[in-house]
Amino acid sequence: MTNLLPIALLNHIAANRKTGDAAYRVLSEENFKTAFSEITRWEGYTPTQLVSLAGLASEIGVGEILYKHEGTRFGLGSFKALGGSYAAQRVLQREISKKLGHDVSLEDIRAGKYSSECAQITLVSATDGNHGRALAWECKRFGSPCRIYIHAEVSQGRADAMQDLGAEVIRIDGDYDASVILAKQEADENGWYVVSDTSWPGYTEPPRDVMSGYGVMTQEICDELDQAPTHVFLQGGVGGLAAGVAAGLRQYWKETSPRVVIVEPELAACLYESSKTGNATNVSIAEETLMAGLSCVNRPEWLGKYLLKKQATFSPYQNR
């Protein structure tokens, strides 16, 4: 069809849309509304560009291709600025409310009313780079100590970017999932608070806030369109982006919501393997993929089940 891309093998599993309330139960309309209301009030907020790739669409014979360019998001270079930063603010809101015995608002935290309380709350996370950078940025905004755990394959440039924002960066010898485990362990031992985009049994609020933040991006896209797209392509990663966008699309477009295609590298194709078994399935990484941010082998059970119920197909891209 085209010589634009190198030849690659794609495995593929199609899933039929199933009825149910997962798109409203796991992530509610109120979750998205609250995140959108707060994030769009942050200093420096502006919608990112939805770019038409007309030449590519013509070359491969489709009507239109639109690309959401997140490189300018809050100067952090990634859509992760919407998720990790917002989740951190929500952790601060919850913990300060508990400490003071009354509800505090996101607006008051943003305005610096509780700066002394924020300074007593250490936030930690594991990252491939962009989530940690978003967390470090948010901690700098509110004066909270920040510890970021990175694995062996994270570039020094990404580590430097987080350190430049004031984070303490801890590099381990293992992979991403090992850094998640260590971050959780040391947070438990020291009374710190994990702000992760990965969930596990008993830990779902920050990952849900991360996905709610991604809803800002989905809302921006949908507001620019006069009809639903036919297909939306998303990377797998730990699943937060795919789940958040899929839920946002379903809530916005209802029964006309587009077909969601989730793409993963062959060397870390957990969602693909999960789709074959019908259950959340882990894989072992024998070799690191070049797509470092997608080198994740574990899927949280509730999120995996959620994704498997959506109108998604799964394709590991076998060009590594």
Positions annotated as catalytic residues are 80, 128
Helix boundaries (H) for the chain: 22-25, 29-39, 54-60, 80-100, 106-110, 115-118, 130-142, 156-164, 176-190, 205-224, 240-253, 270-277, 301-309
Six-digit token pair at 299? 């899927």
b/e for 187-199, b at 16 or more Cβ within 10 A? beeeebbbbbbbb
Q: Which of 216, 275, 194, 190 is nearest to 82 (CA)?
A: 216
Question: Closest Cα partner for 130 from 246, 291, 261, 288?
Answer: 291
Buried b or exposed e, range 211-236, using 16+ CB within 10 angstroms: bbbbbbbbbbbbeeeeebbeebebeb
Judged on CB neighbours under 10 Å (0-12, 13-18, 19+), 210 is buried
43 contact partners, CB below 8 Å, separation of at least 6: none
**Cα–Cα distance for residue pair 191/161, rounded to 1 Å:** 26
